[in-house]
Structures are given as structure tokens and as C-alpha cells.
Amino acid sequence: MTDAFTSRVLDVHTGSAETVHDLTGEIAAFLGDVAGGRDGLLNVFTPHATAGLAVIETGAGSDDDLLAALRDLLPADDRWRHRHGSRGHGRDHVLPAFVPPHATLPVVGGALELGTWQSVVLVDTNRDNPRRQVRLSFLG
């Protein structure tokens, strides 16, 4: 069987508040369209200097806990040298060092191989940019 590479860009509207946006359903739809039941790898990438990707549990408070932990770790105050945008925006540029802008995940039988409670999420603390892109790339 020949390996195939397919890519798609998702446009995500994150709004004007810090957010954890669940991408799992959109990823499943993408794989349903392109994986054809094959095993392979899915790379998820967001080309933004102020957003990241994570694999976490959602809906049971973990998404809010993640945002709270990031607020504690990276407060939105005047300590940051990077100062354009809203107050504390410099912390948004440090976020990808802690929540990377990429993830590579296994695909088995055409489906994302996640644990029972795991979801793939876009983490966006930048209140100044409500429009994000996420590139999904399947190799299988």
C-alpha cells in the first residue's frame, strides 16, 4: 500500500476570552474523509505565536483548570517586555513554550487513537486575536 499525505486547514473562532477549544470532532471528520481505514500519523499544528495544542480531558473541569494554571504561571500583568496589545499580552507569546503549537498522534484503523477521556484542544490565551488556524496533516 502506498503512503498518502493529506492536509487540511481548520479556521477556528476562539472569541475574546481565554479558551480551550476542543478539536476532536473536527479531527475525526478529517480522518473519516482521508484516512480510508489506514494506520498512520496525524500532525496537528497551529501557526500562531500565541496559541498551543494539548491532549487533555475536557468537560469535567480540566479545561478550566488548565486555563487557571496558565494564569498562575503566566499572569497577565506588566512584567512582560513584549508589550503590544492588551495588558499582559507578552505572556501569550510565552505560552507556546509550555503548550506547544504542535502534536503528532497515532491513527489506527483510520481513527485517532486517544484514551477514553482524552481530547485534542487548541489553547488560546490571546484575547486580541479571535481567529485561528489549525493545520491537520495525515500520513498513512
Which CATH number do you get for residue 18? 2.60.120.460
Mean pLDDT, residues 37-42 taken together: 97
Mean pLDDT, residues 42-70 taken together: 96
The pLDDT, as a whole number, for residue 2 is 57
Q: Is 28 left (phi over 0), alpha (psi -120 to 50) or beta?
A: alpha
pLDDT > 70? residue 49: yes
E strand map for the chain: 5-13, 19-22, 40-45, 51-56, 102-108, 111-112, 119-124, 131-139
pLDDT bin (cut points 50, 70, 90) of residue 37 is: very high
Greater model confidence, 88 or 40: 40
pLDDT > 60? residue 1: no
Q: What percent of the chain has pLDDT over 70?
A: 98
Q: What percent of the chain has pLDDT over 90?
A: 84
Q: In 3-state terms, what secondary structure has residue 37?
A: coil
pLDDT > 70? residue 25: yes
pLDDT > 70? residue 71: yes
- Structural domain of 86: 5-139
User: How many domains, in total, are found in the chain?
Assistant: 1
pTM assigned to the model: 0.94
Mean pLDDT, residues 94-114 taken together: 97
Q: In 3-state terms, what secondary structure has residue 3?
A: coil
The pLDDT, as a whole number, for residue 87 is 86
